[in-house]
Amino acid sequence: VTLDYITGYADQISVAPGETIRFMVSARGATAVAADVVRTRCGDRNPAGPGFSETPVVTGIEGRYPVEERHCPAGSYLRAPDSPRLQGLESFTLQVVVWPTLPGRAEQALLGTWSATARRGFVLLLDAQGVATLRLGDGQQVVDLSSGCPLQPRHWYLLAASYDAASGQLTLRQEPLARAADGDVPLDVKRDVRLGPLASTAPFLLAAWQVTPERVGGHYDGKLERPRVADRALSCQEIELLRGDNVPPALAQHLVAAWAFQDEIATTAVPDRSANALHAEAINLPARGMTDSTWRGTDRHWRDAPAQYAAIHFHHDDIYNAGWPATVTLPVPADLPSGLYALRLVAGDLEDRIPFAVRPPRGKATAPIAFLASSATWMAYGNLNPLPFDIAELLSGRLIQLTPANLLIDAHPEWGGSLYDVHADGSGVCYSSRLRPMLNMRPGYISSFGCQGSGLREFNADTHVVDWLDSTGQPYDVVTDEDLHAEGLDLLQRYRVVVTGTHPEYFSTAMLEAVRAWRDEGGRLMVLGGNGFYWRIAYHASLPGVMEVRRSGPAIRTWECQPGEDVQSFDGEIGGLWRHLGKAPQSSVGAGFVAEGFDVSSYYRRSPASRDPRAAFIFDGLEDVEIIGDFGCQGGGAAGVEIDRADLRLGTPAHALILGTSEGHTESYRLVNEEISIAIPNVTGGSNPRIAADLVFFESPGGGAVFNTGSIAWAGSLSHANYANNVARITSNVLRRFLDPSPIVRHRGSGK
Amino acid sequence: VTEAELLAELGQTREALFAEFDRTPVGHHSPALERLLLKFRGAPVTGKYVLLVLEPHRRWMLATLTGRRGDPVRPIDNRVFTDLLDAERAVFRLRWQALVGGPPA
């Protein structure tokens, strides 16, 4: 099945006026596209919603551009530098410890100089049946020496292969490190061959081989550990000696390379500890900081026990950067207002919009309000697909809807998954890059995990907030999570009010600390979403546009870290929920994730606390209203999709006002895992009173305040009745007071 | 299961279950209907009914999932809906029929 499409990605998510942003486009079924820039106003195509809205912007790039289908080179591997010491080897030993995860998927390269088209060089591989094999070729003749016994998935083996060019003898050793499976015994095989020179012009690669000078293939799935290359055929005893991290001096002169996967984990460098310093480079972000065959369960951090973390986990579906050439280069006009924009691409029936934020000029604010675009959330969910996902309909409580985007994501695993997906081998996707197409990060995208009605999440749900901001007429800037991570408190200090999107879920330490510090020195934060401030993430120190999560500990999670692998490789911080790292969302913004459900939403009932004079400004004009948000295009209510509650034990400030609480959620709403320490039967909306959203307000020490809706669906109610409704009124009331620079102070004796 | 066994398990009549579902395909349900829907919605992915969006928020085509990446759906060409709740009602009947091996479909 081949589907026509236009898609692409931008080299930046946030660009300042006067800077340049590039768009990389691939198309099938079109040879040219019409391109222009639009300001994204609302991406909701629901006829009952505010209406899909975008405004063309003249930038000078309007025009037709030739396009073609571009290859996305998925698959992680290591590349050693070109060196005659590797590529000129005639006699050699290759050895490596392996933990294959998909043996038998296809031929998978482990290490060597093999060129699949020149059929020259040497490589240790797993054959199409998962059998360890040494392959040699002189450009004419290809010979294989196979162990004859397939490797068991997720078992550790030492593989060692040698070739003595003078005698023509090949050897291969396959040694299971734990004898778990019947017949798992060490195997030694030999063969004599007569071959010409092997010298290869192909690079020495690990976990892949060269196909053409432009392409690699033969990707491996699984872990590799302690790869070594020697310049002659070693004895069994010498191979044994090379397994450790300290090379005996007598062997050192024959050691060509010994890559230390436990070194420089936070980088793309893979140091070679041999005298040759043939440091390799990791391409497409294989997972690092992985436990190796020696991990004892006594340490959980690669910094504490590096020798137990000498493994890298490769996947044939890892992708960092699609690397396509730029189709459209946009010099952003110096006077372009900050906002959410997209490059619009159209060819006949095919179209796509590649979103980006235009931030204010660097170092400046152009408005008192910042909309903090949840670019980390957008990336985390990038290409999450409801198929094939066997619990999708159970989660949503309604039939799954598949759009053309869903079918395209399914057809293009090489575009990479979301941080909710698992790789083809079942291990979790812990890195997500935006340098690849992400088809659900689009205006117009409909999700089966929104709610009945508009069915919006993440990027497209956030356009409801942008649409509402536009309706207020208040000027605002757009900044992204990446800007916040890079600039921290300095960025926030330029604003009086920060408004979040519908799902500000992912925060690096720098982001979270900046928000909390700004809050406490007078910042005014409006959290217009649910499941906020939830997971810790890391950004890479040198690679732009990529983030990491480690799904560790109790949490709503679609995969789990392997034991001992919950430390982020990008920065060495412990991964997981902020709740498990001492900064529960309740302690940041008053409420934290409690339940999710994707069928219908509900409403809030005002609390007696909402009558506190401290909250009078919030309910200005709504004094007689008891029920808030019993309408909306995200499930018919303002409380829904993912909902958050206050909890004093988790850090909701004691003086916080719980202005209202939602009620009447359906059976589709399930308590989140971290709320369940012992398995209980009443985990759904009908039977568990914890399942509700709290509307929270509290003042912060420096004259600032936090207002938190605790619900993703809130923004879907803002446009109801042409923005004249109690949800919009409350939100506008809060915005108006938060814009007023006079300190928001809780006078002693007022309230509780 | 037979229809009689299913209805005994759910403690409900067929007419009542259908009437309730037809009234509210998505949202609050009685315990009996919820239990039935968990069976339907929790079915394995292969052969599971889904909707293909023909026109966003306007037209959907019924399809079944194959469970295979790269070739995920089998459209059912003559089943096009212009109302999502009608699609839910139709799938409810198809699933009922498949579960108890008889009408109504």
Closest Cβ opposite residue B57 in set A46, A404, A599: A46
Provide the shortest C-alpha distance from residue A391 to chain B (in Å). Answer: 6
Residue A263 has pLDDT above 60, yes or no: yes
pLDDT of residue A752: 44
Q: What is the 3-class SS of A419-435, one letter each residue? A: CCCECCCCCECCEEECE
Rounded Cα distance, A672 and A644, in Å:
10
Place of tokens 């798992």: A184
A400 contact B CB<8A? yes
CB atoms within 10 A of CB A598: 29
Does the pLDDT at position A308 exceed 70? yes
Residue A220 has pLDDT above 60, yes or no: yes
Beta strand pairing call for A524-527 and A705-708: parallel
Contact B69 A413 (CB under 8 A): yes
Q: What is the ipTM of this complex?
A: 0.98
Q: A with B: how many residue pairs have Cβ under 8 Å apart?
A: 89
Average pLDDT on A290-300 reads: 97
What's the rounded mean pLDDT across residues A296-318?
98
As given in the structure block, the two tokens for residue B96 are 């009922």
What's the pLDDT band for B77 if we cut at 50, 70, 90? confident
* Identity at A377, one-letter amino acid code: T
Measure the CA–CA gap between A458 and A45, rounded to whole angstroms.
15
ω into B56 cis (within 30 of 0): no
Nearest to B53 among A46, A394, A446 (CB): A446
- ∠ CA(A640), CA(B22), CA(A643), 5° rounding? 5
Q: Choose the closest CB to A388 out of B49, B65, B87.
A: B65
- CA distances for B82 relative to A121, A519, B94, angstroms: 61, 48, 18
The pLDDT assigned to A182 comes to 64
Q: What is the pLDDT of residue A751?
A: 46
Mutation pick from A399, A408, A456 vs chain B, by most beta carbons of B within 10 Å, is: A399
CA within 13 Å, CB half, A293? 22
Beta bridge partners of A92: A163
**Closest by Cβ to B50, choosing from A397, A402, A664:** A402
Nearest CA in chain B to A411: B70
- Stretch A328-335: mean pLDDT: 98
Q: What are the distances in angstroms from CA A205 to CA A93, A94, A481?
A: 15, 12, 35
Confidence of residue A184 (pLDDT cuts 50, 70, 90): confident
What is the per-residue DSSP string for A146-204? EEEEEPPTT--EEEEEEEETTTTEEEEEEEESS--STT---EEEEEE--------SSPP
- Measured between beta carbons, which residues in chain A are less than 8 angstroms from residue B29? 666-667
Between A746 and A625, the higher pLDDT residue: A625
In A359-476, where does DSSP find H-type helix?
Answer: 375-380, 392-396, 404-411, 458-472
**Rounded to an integer, what distance in angstroms lies between the CA atom of residue A608 and that of residue A590?**
18
Share the mean pLDDT of chain B: 95
How would you label A611-642 residue by residue, b for 16+ Cβ within 10 Å and e otherwise? ebebbeebbeeeeeeeebbbbbbbbbbbbbbb
H helices, E strands: number in chain B: 4, 3
pLDDT in tens, A69-107: 999 999 999 999 999 999 999 999 999 999 999 999 999
Contact A410 B48 (CB under 8 A): no
In this predicted structure, what is the pLDDT of residue B5? 95
* CA B18 remoteness from chain centre: 11
- What confidence score (pLDDT) does residue A181 get? 63
Strand order of the sheet with strand A431-433?
A431-433, A546-548, A535-539, A506-508
Euclidean distance between CA atoms B54 and A580, whole angstroms: 44
In this prediction, residues A369-389 reach a mean pLDDT of: 95
Q: Between these two residues, A184 and A143, which has the higher pLDDT value?
A: A143
C-alpha A729/C-alpha A720 separation (Å) is: 11
Q: Please judge whether A402 and B27 are an interchain contact, meaning their C-beta atoms are less than 8 angstroms apart.
A: no
Collapsing DSSP states into helix, strand and coil, what is residue B16? helix
The secondary structure element, H or E, covering residue A593 is: strand A592-606
Determine the pLDDT at residue A178.
84
Query: Is residue A468 very low, low, confident or very high in pLDDT (cuts 50, 70, 90)?
Result: very high
Average of per-residue pLDDT across A369-376: 98
For residues B52 and B60, is the Cβ–Cβ distance under 8 A?
yes
DSSP A63-120: EEEE----------EEEPPP-HHHHT-SSEEEEEEEEESSTTSS-EEEEE--BTTTTE
| Residue A555 main-chain phi, psi, to 5 deg | 180, 160
Provide the 3-class DSSP secondary structure of residue A414.
helix
Looking at CA atoms only, how far is residue A341 from chain B in angstroms? 22
Name the 3-class secondary structure at A648: helix
The residues near A147 (Cβ < 8 Å, ≥ 6 apart) are: A131, A132, A133, A172, A174, A187, A189
- CA B88 to CA B25: how far, in whole Å? 6
**DSSP strand pairing (A369-373 vs A326-331):** unpaired
Give the span between the Cα atoms of A256 and A655, in whole angstroms.
Answer: 66
